[in-house]
């Protein structure tokens, strides 16, 4: 393992590059804002912040890896560099831990967190030190993006010190949806770290390289200034772990003394400082009998990739190899960890859900099950399998995705009208969820033509209506026949028109949706039999859909000086005066959602760069008059300002490479 440290002049900064794991701390503060909040308000804000609780993720990771052994990390506590970082008299605000896959960095950080917790607010509310942490995971959409990292850090800090909620509430006027904006959460975190009530703050982020979305935004917080200072061997820690696991095997399996010595020697010679290799081999040894120990051990070569190759060979040899390869192929290609029941829906597997954990265990050392959710034991396992396309995807990866898509659609056949038995159209989603069946019947097919409205209803109940928009966009890009395409286009008009009403009252799909959609609407005709029977005279409605897709409410006091579409046509950027302040808003053409990028001077003219990294405009500043300003989206900041002697700017245009800006004066 390689450790990298740096002295940083930036207070509260983190630093990383490449595949770094990072830990940071010591953040002084400069101002405070205090407000009184009721317990109900506290709970509301905390619930909005908590996309995931890092404490639960830490427990899951430790249990998935067989528990946290103190001998595997306590050596670091005596390391002079670690002690220098912990010493408040030293100017070492940053600790950077690096190493190859499987070297035990995550478990090392987990152990460090345990040591730090004892004297922080997480364990002692009277402490003057706060601790927050986050574990990134590339295979989990809830753990692999900058927004999730920042929300997790903010959540733990606020949970320890509720007065910090005042900084969260600064954003509530923009609606809770803005908390899903990485820029907004970054600003909240900055305000929290500047709060004088935080005398000392330690932030820990594991697996920075597994942050696959908006990494640049996270690196704006994690200022990259590290350089290598020292190297430390892991052999002592790995040997302690080997001794611990061998003792466990001796008790659990009754291995003979000389077999245990052979196992300890073999593991020590071949581990090469890799905790994961030791853990996976010991996991396989648990399946052996006492007389098979030596033969089993010699099956497993040194090195993670060679071990993975051997395990894949073993999977391919038994009678059920086709079954295990199908399971591995599915887990490789889904976009998030799936549950056992979801796997049963996707793939026709023998037996029932209770048998699935045994099947997963037969898939070598690649997978593990935790709380009925299937995970890879490590990102390196997934990376290895994705390279084995000839074994797992004989028809090709694209064809495999298409096959999974068709199987998922087939699984939707059980959907029907009023799937939760709500009966009354006024029943809200919250009331519906109190009586949801177990397990929730969620899937169905005959997609648009036969199940579209039922599908909308189900996704309203799951609070996932945006998924319909995404799916319809995909269908629009497929080579469908004219009748099918017309139905898809009609569905694309139906959803945005009725979304405000059906989002919280799902049965309005069949009342308002079927009564007030146009007479010639294909969706209305297809599902007319599901409309309200008690309405004798239907209201007069237009014959066809109107030209409008979305209507955006910008507020009564707003006026509209400038509009621009994004280069991909998916967003409309509006620079306007909003309730006594200027700003830039991004309106999604696909789902009607609004994001706030900047609270700034309203711009009279506006231009967006093709790479969506920059936008420029003419701002009217009280002191300076007209100014040309260039804003940087990722950092949400003004990067360049120049005063204009002649404010009559008639046009702005970025070059195709986003490197130059032309300004037209008249």
pLDDT digits (tens, 9 = 90+) for 409-419: 777 777 777 76
Distance CA 536, CA 95 (A): 72
Widest CA span in the chain? 92
Quick check: 398 pLDDT over 80? yes
Overall average pLDDT of the 461-465 stretch: 83
The confidence score (pLDDT) of residue 14 equals: 38
Tokens representing 391 are: 């074994």
The confidence score (pLDDT) of residue 444 equals: 31
Quick check: 124 pLDDT over 60? yes
The whole-chain average pLDDT of the chain stands at 74
Quick check: 514 pLDDT over 80? yes
Using a pLDDT cut of 70, give the percent of the chain over it: 73
Name the pLDDT band for 260 (thresholds 50, 70, 90): confident
The confidence score (pLDDT) of residue 423 equals: 58
Overall average pLDDT of the 446-457 stretch: 81
Overall average pLDDT of the 78-84 stretch: 76
Quick check: 373 pLDDT over 80? yes
Chain position carrying tokens 């900047």: 598
| Least confident range of 222-231, 343-352, 529-538 | 222-231
| Least confident range of 257-271, 400-414, 490-504 | 400-414
Q: For residues 43 and 76, which has the higher predicted lDDT (pLDDT)?
A: 76
The confidence score (pLDDT) of residue 230 equals: 32
Quick check: 366 pLDDT over 80? yes
For 2, phi then psi, to 5°, come to: -115, 130
The three-state secondary structure class of 391 is helix
The confidence score (pLDDT) of residue 21 equals: 36
Quick check: 261 pLDDT over 90? no
pLDDT digits (tens, 9 = 90+) for 483-500: 788 888 898 889 888 888
Overall average pLDDT of the 96-112 stretch: 75
User: Comparing C-alpha atoms, which of 116, 190, 125 is closest to residue 160?
Assistant: 125
Helix (H) or strand (E) holding 306: helix 304-316
Quick check: 587 pLDDT over 70? yes
- End-to-end, the C-alpha distance of the chain in Å comes to 62
Q: For residues 88 and 283, which has the higher predicted lDDT (pLDDT)?
A: 283
Name the pLDDT band for 518 (thresholds 50, 70, 90): very high
Tokens representing 226 are: 């590290």
Overall average pLDDT of the 627-652 stretch: 77
Overall average pLDDT of the 453-470 stretch: 84
pTM strictly above 0.85: no
- Percent helix, percent strand, percent coil in the chain, to nearest 5: 45, 15, 40
Kindly tell me the sign of the dihedral angle through the C-alpha atoms of 577, 582, 584, 585: negative
User: Comparing C-alpha atoms, which of 283, 280, 281, 275 is closest to residue 252?
Assistant: 283
Quick check: 311 pLDDT over 60? yes
Overall average pLDDT of the 647-661 stretch: 82
Tokens representing 536 are: 């004798």
Distance CA 367, CA 208 (A): 22
The confidence score (pLDDT) of residue 434 equals: 56
Quick check: 122 pLDDT over 70? yes
Helix (H) or strand (E) holding 329: helix 321-333
Tokens representing 471 are: 């799916």
Name the pLDDT band for 31 (thresholds 50, 70, 90): very low
Distance CA 136, CA 222 (A): 14
Overall average pLDDT of the 226-246 stretch: 56
Distance CA 519, CA 545 (A): 9
Quick check: 232 pLDDT over 50? no
The confidence score (pLDDT) of residue 267 equals: 86
pLDDT digits (tens, 9 = 90+) for 384-397: 888 888 888 888 88
In 175-235 the beta strands, taken as DSSP E runs, fall at: 200-206, 227-231
Beta bridge partners of residue 4, listed in sequence order: 96, 228
In 501-645 the beta strands, taken as DSSP E runs, fall at: 559-565, 571-578, 581-588, 594-599, 603-608, 614-621, 625-632, 637-643
Name the pLDDT band for 133 (thresholds 50, 70, 90): very high
Q: How many degrees, rounded to 5, is the angle at CA 174 between CA 170 and CA 176?
A: 90
Q: For residues 54 and 141, which has the higher predicted lDDT (pLDDT)?
A: 54
The confidence score (pLDDT) of residue 559 equals: 60
Name the pLDDT band for 516 (thresholds 50, 70, 90): very high
| Least confident range of 146-160, 162-176, 611-625, 636-650 | 162-176
Out of 50-59, 82-91, 350-359, the most confident range is 50-59
The confidence score (pLDDT) of residue 580 equals: 56
The confidence score (pLDDT) of residue 134 equals: 92
Q: For residues 637 and 161, which has the higher predicted lDDT (pLDDT)?
A: 161
The confidence score (pLDDT) of residue 439 equals: 36
């Amino acid at each position: 393992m390689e450790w990298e440290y740096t002295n940083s002049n930036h207070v509260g900064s983190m630093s990383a590059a490449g595949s770094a794991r990072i830990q940071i701390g010591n953040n002084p503060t400069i101002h405070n804002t205090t407000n009184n909040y009721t317990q109900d308000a506290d709970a509301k804000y905390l619930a909005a912040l908590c996309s995931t609780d890092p404490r639960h993720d830490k427990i899951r990771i430790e249990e998935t890896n067989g528990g946290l052994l103190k001998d595997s990390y306590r050596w670091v506590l005596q390391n002079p560099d670690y002690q220098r970082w912990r010493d408040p008299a030293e100017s070492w605000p940053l600790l950077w831990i690096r190493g190859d896959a499987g070297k035990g960095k995550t478990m090392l950080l987990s152990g460090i967190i345990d040591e730090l917790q004892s004297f922080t607010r997480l364990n002692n509310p009277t402490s003057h030190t706060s601790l927050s942490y986050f574990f990134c995971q590339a295979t989990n959409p809830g753990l692999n993006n900058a927004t999730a990292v920042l929300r997790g850090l903010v959540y733990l800090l606020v949970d320890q010190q509720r007065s910090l909620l005042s900084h969260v509430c600064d954003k509530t006027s923009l609606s809770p949806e803005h908390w899903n904006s990485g820029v907004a959460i970054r600003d909240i975190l900055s305000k929290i770290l500047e709060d004088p009530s935080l005398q000392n703050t330690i932030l820990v982020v594991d697996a920075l390289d597994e942050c696959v979305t908006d990494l640049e935004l996270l690196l704006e917080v994690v200022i990259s200034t590290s350089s290598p200072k020292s190297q430390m061997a892991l052999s002592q820690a790995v040997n302690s772990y080997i001794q611990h696991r061998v003792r466990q095997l001796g008790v659990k399996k009754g291995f003979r003394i000389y077999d245990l010595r052979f196992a300890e020697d073999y593991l020590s010679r071949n581990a090469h400082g890799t905790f994961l290799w030791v853990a996976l081999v010991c996991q396989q040894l648990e399946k052996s009998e006492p007389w098979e120990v030596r033969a089993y051990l010699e099956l497993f070569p040194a090195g993670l990739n060679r071990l993975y190759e051997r395990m894949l060979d073993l999977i391919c040899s038994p009678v059920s190899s086709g079954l295990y390869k199908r399971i591995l192929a599915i887990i490789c290609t889904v976009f998030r960890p799936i549950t056992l029941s979801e796997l049963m829906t996707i793939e026709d597997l023998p037996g029932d859900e209770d048998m699935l954990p045994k099947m997963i265990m037969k898939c070598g050392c690649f997978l593990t099950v935790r709380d009925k959710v299937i995970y890879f034991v490590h990102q390196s396992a997934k990376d290895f399998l994705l390279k084995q396309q000839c074994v797992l995807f004989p028809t090709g990866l694209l064809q495999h995705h298409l096959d999974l898509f068709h199987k998922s659609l087939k699984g939707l056949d059980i959907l029907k009208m009023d799937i939760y038995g709500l009966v009354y159209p006024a029943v809200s989603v919250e009331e519906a969820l109190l009586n949801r069946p177990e397990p929730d019947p969620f899937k169905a097919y005959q997609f648009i033509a036969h199940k579209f409205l039922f599908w909308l209803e189900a996704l309203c109940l799951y609070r996932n209506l945006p998924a319909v928009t995404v799916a319809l966009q995909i269908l629009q890009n497929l080579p469908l026949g004219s009748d099918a395409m017309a139905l898809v286009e009609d569905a694309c008009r139906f959803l945005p028109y009725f979304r405000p009403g059906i989002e919280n009252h799902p049965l309005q799909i069949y009342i308002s949706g079927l009564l007030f959609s146009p007479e010639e609407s294909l969706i209305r005709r297809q599902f007319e039999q599901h409309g309200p029977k008690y309405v004798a005279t239907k209201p007069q409605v237009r014959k066809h859909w109107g030209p409008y897709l979305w209507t955006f409410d910008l507020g009564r006091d707003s006026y509209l000086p400038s509009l621009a579409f994004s280069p991909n046509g998916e967003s409309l950027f509006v620079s306007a005066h909003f309730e006594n302040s200027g700003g830039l808003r991004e309106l999604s053409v696909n789902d009607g959602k609004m994001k706030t990028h900047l609270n700034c001077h309203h711009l009279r003219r506006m231009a967006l760069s093709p790479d969506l990294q920059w936008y420029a405009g003419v701002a009217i500043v009280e002191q300076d008059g007209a100014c040309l300003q260039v804003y940087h989206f990722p950092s949400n900041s003004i990067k360049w300002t120049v005063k204009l002697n002649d404010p009559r700017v008639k046009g702005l245009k970025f070059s195709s490479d986003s490197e130059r800006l032309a300004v037209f004066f008249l």
